[in-house]
Amino acid sequence: MGTIGAVVAAAIVFVGSHFLLSHPLRRPLVGAMGELGFMGVYSVVAIATFGWLIVAYLKAPLTSPLWPVGDGIWALVTVGMLIAAILLMGSLIRNPALPTGGKPGALPVAALGVFAVTRHPMMWSFALWGLCHIVVFPVAKNIVLATAIVVLALIGAALQDRKKERLQPDLWPAWESKTSYLPFAAIAAGRARFGRFGLHTLLGGLVVWLVATWAHQPLAGWAAGVWRWL
């Protein structure tokens, strides 16, 4: 039997190694082993530390929930996870924040769809996933794991902006002026307009949401999403 402390330790190493490799250690490592070599090291470390986190999570004891979870919370989380799925699918197409192999990527002329909501839709989808899982499954080991995902996503997004500003000083600030880190801030400020969501975003998000929530029953042993009421 593992401990909650082991989950905390694994979460710290998982998040900390990601930040170290993505930022202060990236440049010297790329200079020493090249972009492909660095990506290999990064991938091995990410997989190993995430694997450790999952194993520690599975071995840790199941503590009592910190608050009761009724249908109202389930309904709120179900909607939140649909939004997360839409943000995730929308972030996979024409996302200037995705890795480009060290080469500056092209930036969209205007912020459309999920990018009008936030310039980091993928990161916010992960953060929303973490927050939803904390709310609906408030046991100690899950709170630690989900918090690690939230911290990695939101702080990682902010640090990514700083890195992009350095790497693309003539392009990224212009993209920042059209978008926002915080969801809906650019829309509220009049710098972007809500709408223009592609079919891949809405339909793809719906499919991912339905499949992912259905998978909770065979994988976790309890129903999630709309399947809870069907």
Q: pTM of the entire structure?
A: 0.92
Write out the two tokens for 73: 């919370």
Q: Tokens 């190493």 — which residue?
A: 13
What residue segments make up the domains of the chain, in order of their start? 1-61, 66-228
Amino acid identity at 212 = A
C-alpha 163/C-alpha 156 separation (Å) is 10
Q: What is the pLDDT of residue 22?
A: 86
Averaged pLDDT, 62-67: 95
Write out the two tokens for 50: 């995430």
C-alpha 212/C-alpha 218 separation (Å) is 11
Backbone Cα Rg of the chain: 19
C-alpha 77/C-alpha 165 separation (Å) is 34
Averaged pLDDT, 49-71: 96
The phi, psi pair for 23, rounded to 5°, reads -125, -85
Q: Using an 8 Å Cβ cutoff, are 162 and 142 in contact?
A: no
Q: How far is CA 67 from CA 83, 111, 140, 179, in A?
A: 24, 39, 12, 36
C-alpha 24/C-alpha 13 separation (Å) is 16
C-alpha 187/C-alpha 106 separation (Å) is 22
Q: Using an 8 Å Cβ cutoff, are 80 and 132 in contact?
A: yes
pLDDT above 70: residue 100: no
Q: What is the pLDDT of residue 30?
A: 87
The per-residue pLDDT for range 185-210, each reduced to its tens digit, is 999 999 999 989 999 999 999 999 99
Helix (H, G, I), strand (E, B) or coil at 68: coil
C-alpha 150/C-alpha 124 separation (Å) is 8
The per-residue pLDDT for range 104-151, each reduced to its tens digit, is 567 888 899 999 999 999 999 999 999 999 999 999 999 999 999 999
Apex CA 185: angle with CA 208 and CA 72, to 5°? 50
Label residue 222 by pLDDT band (50, 70, 90).
Answer: confident
Residue 78 CB contacts under 8 Å (≥ 6 apart), including other chains: 213, 224, 225, 226, 228
Q: Using an 8 Å Cβ cutoff, are 149 and 130 in contact?
A: yes
Q: Tokens 């109202």 — which residue?
A: 72
Q: Using an 8 Å Cβ cutoff, are 173 and 37 in contact?
A: no
141: how many CB neighbours lie within 10 A of its CB? 23
